[in-house]
Amino acid sequence: MTISTSRVRTRFAPSPTGFIHLGNIRSALYPWAFARANGGVFVLRIEDTDAERSSQEAVDVILEGMHWLGLDPDEGPFYQMQRMDRYKQVLAQMLDEGLAYRCYMSQAELDALRERQTAEKLKPRYDGTWRPESGKALPAVPQSVSPVIRFRSPISGSVAWDDKVKGRIEFSNDELDDLIIARADGTPTYNFCVVVDDIDMAITHVIRGDDHVNNTPRQIHILRALGHEPPVYAHLPTVLNEHGEKMSKRHGAKAVTHYRDEGYLPDAMVNYLSRLGWSHGDDEIFSRDQFVEWFNLDHLGKSAAQFDEAKLRWVGAQHMKLTDDALLAPLVAEQLGRLGHEAVSGQRLANMCGLFKDRCATTVELAQWLDMYFGAVSASEEDLAVHVTAAARPALTALAVRLDGVPSWDAPSIQQAIKATLTEHGMKMPQLAPAVRVLVCARAQTPSIDSVLSLFPRATVVARLRAN
Ligand code: GLU
The domain 86-182 having CATH identifier 3.40.50.300: the answer here is: no
The ligand 1 atom nearest the CA atom of 219: 9
Ligand 1 centroid from CA 162, angstroms: 19
- Ligand 1 contact, 194 CB (< 6 A): yes
Check pocket membership of 267 for ligand 1, CB cut-off 6 A. Answer: no
Strand order in the sheet with 148-151: 100-103, 148-151, 180-182
Is ligand 1 within 6 A of the CB of residue 208? yes
- Output DSSP code: residue 226: T
Phi and psi at 389, nearest 5°, equal -90, 165
**Superfamily (CATH H level) for 9-78+192-240:** HUPs (3.40.50.620)
- The answer to whether 437 and 449 have CB atoms below 8 angstroms apart is yes
**What is 381-466's CATH topology?**
Arc Repressor Mutant, subunit A (1.10.10)
Q: Is the CB of 435 under 6 A from ligand 1?
A: no
Ligand 1 centroid vs 207 CA: distance in angstroms? 10
- Print burial letters for 375-404: b (CB count within 10 Å at least 16), e (below 16): eeeebeeebbeebbeeebeebbebbbebbe
The C-alpha atoms of residue 460 and residue 462 are separated, in whole angstroms, by 5
pTM, whole model, 2 decimals?
0.93
197 lines ligand 1 (CB under 6 A): no
pLDDT at 5: 53
CA distance 136 to 140: 13
| Predicted local confidence at residue 77, as pLDDT | 98
Calculate how far, in angstroms, residue 427's C-alpha sits from the geometric centre of ligand 1: 67
Q: Ligand 1 within 6 A of 13 CB?
A: yes
Pick the residue whose CA is nearest to atom 2 on ligand 1: 14
CA dihedral 421, 426, 429, 434 (to 10 degrees): -80
Helix then strand then coil, % of the chain, to nearest 5: 50, 10, 40
Q: Domain 256-373 is of which CATH architecture? A: Orthogonal Bundle (1.10)
Give the C-alpha separation, 216 to 213, whole Å: 5
C-alpha 95/C-alpha 149 separation (Å) is: 8
Classify burial at 248, counting beta carbons within 10 Å of its beta carbon; exposed 0-12, middle 13-18, buried 19 or more.
middle
Say how far apart CA 315 and CA 324 lie, in whole Å.
Answer: 16
- pLDDT at 251 (0 to 100): 84
102: Cβ below 6 Å to ligand 1? no
Give the C-alpha separation, 136 to 100, whole Å. 16
d(CA 322, CA 330): 16
CA distance 147 to 184: 5
pLDDT tens sequence for the chain (468 residues): 344 457 999 999 999 998 999 999 999 999 999 999 999 999 999 999 999 999 999 999 999 999 999 999 999 999 999 999 999 999 999 999 999 999 999 999 999 999 999 999 998 999 999 999 999 999 999 999 999 999 999 999 999 999 999 999 999 999 999 999 999 999 999 999 999 999 999 999 999 999 999 999 999 999 999 999 999 999 999 999 999 999 987 888 999 999 999 999 999 999 999 999 999 999 999 999 999 999 999 999 999 999 999 999 999 999 999 999 999 999 999 999 999 998 788 999 999 999 999 999 999 999 999 999 999 999 999 999 999 999 999 999 999 999 999 999 999 999 999 999 999 999 999 999 999 999 999 999 999 999 999 999 999 999 999 998
| Best probe residue, ligand 1, of 11, 12, 15, 66 (max atoms within 8 Å of C-beta) | 15
Give nearest CA residue, ligand 1 atom 7.
Answer: 13
- Domain-by-domain residue ranges, the chain? 9-78+192-240, 86-182, 256-373, 381-466
What is the predicted pLDDT for the residue at 249? 79
